């Protein structure tokens, strides 16, 4: 069956008191088993995870890193405060492990698509954000949907960024083929597909970065329902050859 | 506009003398600006990049690695012969840089979805494979399409594999927003989206691994035409903090 990736556009900029579900329902009718993908940015704006850089006082460490790496010390202070540890620091790039466990540049802090002098931080608990939206949709429409919060991360080895999942509600994020027969009846051993990340990447294709399209809906994808958390997608230190 | 990801299924197993374009046209009508995504496996089968393990004589190095890492020495021999260098070897996993420059496990050599005792190697020149298909489609249908060859790779930091591009024809693989204004008019600086990889990930959602669906068509995605090669998606050693 043809998979659909449907853009949901908003004319207004999202603020902290907006009801995202009401805004979606103004222009979009949900079906059972739709997967709603929200960009990190509107969730962060909606949850007031947005900060004026002028309100940040850099520590001595942030000042030092900023001067060595050509960064704004207030931004470095924010990155450090959102991180468990620095993973790599080179070529003007700061790769950290965030409090949630995501390995990414700048702790996911982002100055694009917000007012000048402001930056968005990742949601504190993106699984919770996703679950609240899922529950509110159930309340208001009676529909059972899955929800993913998506962000744009770089990666090793390859240029360009792709969208991946930072929070999930209602679906199994990894489709595990281990122990299943392939088309020749042979048992597969290491195939486990990160479908939540693939869904975010598919959604990014309609969201873009300049189209005021912060939500996409995936329709006709047959996912497994689950109460899984995003941590199930993260490699442990021990299991990671590149940490 | 809604993006469509359309599965194209084949009943027959692909062999080296099959005309893939004819097979597609039996059940699918192409439009201008469709993007056709082919799984690596049918391209490898179609190009006879499939080998019986019994035909492989392992070197002493392959024997040594195999015994230390619990692998089939013939498979290790194949991995080494397809690689420029070993990037990591640990936990029974061999990560190499392939001759093409891809960093991946086992040089992309795969024993699933082929007959027992056989393995597929990556196409020798996946860009060329993609270009030949694009040209043949143009000849037979008059339609201008883009073609991507897709494979399933693991990645650092996150569990599960996703599909990414290993060969391209006719589209710009990275959508570069550098210098463009965001929705607040601020100039974006580091945003460049690996849309070819996102397209492969979207396609994997309909291909799956057990559905005899080796091709997907992306419709309604507004891409930039280009003669770019896949190398444009690969980080140089110098630019890679994790090599």
pLDDT digits (tens, 9 = 90+) for B193-232: 999 999 999 999 999 888 889 999 999 999 999 999 999 9
Q: Determine the Cα–Cα distance for residues B152 and A192; give it in Å rounded to an integer.
A: 10
Task: Give the pLDDT band (50/70/90) at residue B168.
Answer: very high
All residues of chain A having their beta carbon less than 8 Å from the beta carbon of residue B232 are 159
Residue with more model confidence, A202 or A239: A202
pLDDT over 80 (residue A188):
no
Beta strands at A50-52 and B50-52: parallel, antiparallel or unpaired: unpaired
pLDDT (tens digit per residue) in A22-66: 999 999 999 999 999 999 999 999 999 999 999 999 999 999 999
Residue B113 has a pLDDT of: 81
Tell me the three state secondary structure of residue A70.
coil
Which chain A residue's Cα is nearest to B197?
A162
Q: How far is A209 from chain B (nearest CA, A)?
A: 7
Report the C-alpha gap between A134 and A129 in whole angstroms: 9
pLDDT of residue B191: 87
Which residues of chain B neighbour A201 with C-beta distances below 8 Å?
A: 162, 197-198, 201-202
Shortest Cα distance, chain A CAs vs residue B66, angstroms: 18
Percent of chain B scoring above 70 in pLDDT: 99
Mean of the pLDDT values across residues A105-116?
90
* A123-127, A180-184, B233-237: range with lowest mean pLDDT: A180-184
Contact between A181 and A188 under an 8 Å Cβ cutoff? The reply is: yes
What is the torsion angle, in degrees rounded to the nearest 10, for the CA atoms of residue A194, residue A217, residue A108 and residue A103? 0
Angstrom distance (rounded) from CA A115 to CA B132: 47
Higher-confidence residue of B184 and A1: namely A1
% of chain A with per-residue pLDDT over 70: 99
Q: What is the DSSP letter of A165?
A: E
Residue with tokens 């949900």: A30
- Which domains occur in chain B, in start order? 1-48+123-234 (3.30.1330.100), 50-121 (3.90.1660.10)
pLDDT tens column, A126-146: 999 999 999 999 999 999 999
The A residues from 127 to 146 touching B (CB cutoff 8 Å) are none
The DSSP 8-state label assigned to residue A18 in this structure reads -
pLDDT (tens digit per residue) in A56-107 = 999 999 999 999 988 899 999 999 999 999 999 987 889 999 999 999 999 9
Residue B178 burial class via C-beta count within 10 angstroms: exposed 0-12, middle 13-18, buried 19 and up: exposed
| HEC assignment per residue over chain B | CCEEEEEECCCCCCCCCCCHHHHHHHHCCCCCCCEEEEEHHHHHHHCCCEEEHHHCCCCHHHHHHHHHHCCCHHHHHHHHHCEEEEEEEECCEEEEEECCCCEEEHHHCECCCCCCCEEECCCCCHHHHHHHHHHHHHHHHCCCCEEEEEEEECCCCECCEEEEEEEEEEECCCEECCCCECCCCCECCCCEECHHHHHHHHHHHHHCCCCCCCEEEEECCCCCEECCCHHHHECCHHHCCCC
Phi, psi at residue B216, to the nearest 5°?
-130, 150
């Amino acid at each position: 069956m043809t998979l659909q990736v449907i853009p949901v556009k908003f004319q207004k900029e999202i603020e902290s008191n907006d009801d995202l579900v009401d805004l979606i329902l103004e222009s979009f009718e949900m079906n059972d088993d739709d997967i709603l993908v929200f960009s990190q940015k509107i969730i962060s704006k909606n949850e007031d995870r947005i900060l004026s850089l002028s309100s940040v006082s850099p520590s001595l460490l942030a000042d030092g890193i900023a001067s060595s790496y050509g960064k704004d010390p207030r931004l470095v202070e924010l990155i450090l405060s959102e991180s468990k540890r620095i993973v790599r620091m080179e070529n003007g790039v700061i790769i950290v492990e965030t409090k949630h466990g995501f390995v990414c540049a700048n702790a996911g802090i982002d100055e694009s698509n917000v007012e000048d002098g402001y930056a968005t931080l990742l949601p504190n608990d993106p699984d919770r954000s996703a679950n609240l939206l899922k529950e509110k949709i159930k309340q208001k429409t009676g529909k059972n949907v899955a929800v993913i919060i998506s962000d744009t991360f770089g990666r090793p080895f390859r240029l360009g960024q792709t969208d991946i999942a930072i929070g999930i509600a209602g679906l199994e994020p990894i489709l595990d083929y281990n122990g299943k027969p392939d088309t020749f009846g042979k048992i597969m051993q290491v195939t486990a597909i990160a479908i939540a990340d693939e869904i975010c990447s598919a959604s990014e294709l309609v969201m873009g970065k300049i189209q005021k399209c912060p939500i996409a809906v995936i329709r006709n994808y047959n996912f497994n329902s689950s109460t899984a958390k995003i941590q199930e997608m993260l490699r442990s230190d021990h299991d990671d050859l590149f940490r």
